């Protein structure tokens, strides 16, 4: 599988990085070299998460997490036409995509003007997120999720 390089810092809201340079060495050591363990970015407000849930028609469970990914192509352009699959997300996970800049459960691919998508109500723990174009995987990463937390992948790119 192909790797995604994004933020390598495992930091929750109000927490300090778990190791030197913010990298959780224990988690990274268990991850194959073709994958990069990502990060919880505590940059979004509760209002943003509430708006995401209400706009997409999602009934968000605070004991479960949210993954939001922004795919880019090899030239660093926002990438429409990408679908996501989440292995290990749990039985209550619900996908959503942005359509016309608004999150919805009706979409199946990322689209302009804001190519983004993800999963709500994912089980806390390690989730494998795969980005595909025309059914072919182009990127894969291991995402660490927590309950009541939005985990963002701000720069999901294909790799050679």
Domain boundaries, the chain: 20-156
Check pLDDT > 80 for residue 21: no
Q: Between 9 and 115, where is the model more confident?
A: 115
pTM score: 0.73
CB atoms within 10 A of CB 20: 7
Q: Class assignment of domain 20-156? A: mainly beta
Q: Which two tokens stand for residue 14?
A: 């109000």
Reported confidence tier of residue 8, pLDDT bands at 50, 70, 90: very low
d(CA 144, CA 88): 11
Q: Distance from CA of residue 19 to its chain's centroid?
A: 22
* pLDDT tens by residue, 26-38: 333 333 333 333 3
Can you tell me which residue has the tokens 């790797």? 3
Mean pLDDT to the nearest integer, 106-122: 95
Quote the pLDDT of residue 51. Answer: 87
User: Interior CA angle at 99 toward 152 and 3, to 5°?
Assistant: 35
Looking up tokens 């190791």, which residue turns up? 19
């Amino acid at each position: 599988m192909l790797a995604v390089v994004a933020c390598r810092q495992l930091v929750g809201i109000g927490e300090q990085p778990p190791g030197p340079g913010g990298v959780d060495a224990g988690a990274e050591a268990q991850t194959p070299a073709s994958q990069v363990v990502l990060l919880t970015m505590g940059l979004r407000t509760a209002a943003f998460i509430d708006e995401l849930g209400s706009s997409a028609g999602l009934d968000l469970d605070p004991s479960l997490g949210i993954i939001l990914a922004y795919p880019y192509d090899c030239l660093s352009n926002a990438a429409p036409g990408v679908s996501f699959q989440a292995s290990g997300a749990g039985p209550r996970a619900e996908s959503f995509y942005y359509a016309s800049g608004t999150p919805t459960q009706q979409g199946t691919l990322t689209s302009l003007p804001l190519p983004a998508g993800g999963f709500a109500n994912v089980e806390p723990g390690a989730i494998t997120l795969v980005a595909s174009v025309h059914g072919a995987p182009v990127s894969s990463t291991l995402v660490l999720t927590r309950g009541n937390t939005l985990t963002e992948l701000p720069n999901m790119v294909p790799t050679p």
